[in-house]
Amino acid sequence: MKLRAASLPLGLMLGTKVLALFVAVFAIACAAGLGSGFGQTSENGGSSPQLHINGAKPSGKPSTTAPPAVLDTSGNMDTNSAPDHVSQENQQPAINIINPSPVSPPWVWHDKWLWLANLVFAAVGIGGVIAAISTLCVLKRQTKANWVAAKASLRQTNYMITSERAWFVCCADLHWDSGKDGNRIARVHFTYENMGKTPGFITEIGFAVNGMKQEQRLPEIPPDYQNEDKTQWIGGRGVPIVPGNNMGRRAEWTPTQAQLDEWQREELTIWVHGYVKYRDCFVEMERETRYCLRLKPSTEGGNTVPFVIDGPPAYNSAT
């Protein structure tokens, strides 16, 4: 690819020199043609118009004898009529000018040089067109190769950023506890962990715990969590979290005994959902991870109850 690109200017320079040489030859041939009377007929190349006289002998003068007068039967003298043999012999001569047939001029040496120069000039023009088309094809291939290389470089850069940047995920655990009044309290512990390879900076966290009947559904669009548990860090890049480290938050839900019974019978669904916003070290933009978990009823006893990922698509996304 580089060898073609380097040899291209040399070929254009040689083509320009050859074109200039033949243009000079063409100009000399035109000047020679104009100086020698190009386009004129030679002295012996044509013939003069010929004069032909009808009814006259070449060696004698035309006869001037008037036709004899003829006496008709009425006694009148007719001087305009004459016997046929007399009128044919004494007919006045007629002059006809006959132009000769055109004769092409001879092909002299400067005409030959001019024809040769035109032929070479046409060949050079065709060669220039072929060279221009070849140049466009080379440029097209080079442009396509550069575009493919740039696209591959962009994919490689995006891959490096994606593989090396910070990634935050959320884990949730639920523990049952007893309150002062003997009521059971569901304590939900949220853990926001950096699973990437570079530090991340948390700027905002929001979450909520809701209990809904089976016929009820979460809204398709997540809430803004203004009325729920929401924390923002303003005036800086955020809270730095190194890879493998995490930040924890706690939430509490105090159900009634009727709600607990409904939950055990799977007539009540407990939803835990929220989001975390953060920045990474590569792009100055705010990324976001959203999560939605459904509390699975436990019939085996124990203190920890597992969660499963569920809910509308807008509640489970990452940027």
pLDDT digits 0-9 by tens, 146-183: 999 999 998 888 888 788 889 999 888 888 788 777 77
Give me the residue spans of the domains in the chain: 2-36+106-161, 168-318
The reported pTM is 0.53
Position 152 scores a pLDDT of 92
Judged on CB neighbours under 10 Å (0-12, 13-18, 19+), 205 is buried
For 208, how many CA atoms within 13 A lie in the half-sphere containing its CB? 13
Q: Please check the confidence at residue 286 and state whether its pLDDT lies above 50.
A: yes
Distance CA 189, CA 174 (A): 6
CATH number corresponding to 168-318? 2.60.40
Residue 14 or residue 270, greater confidence? 270
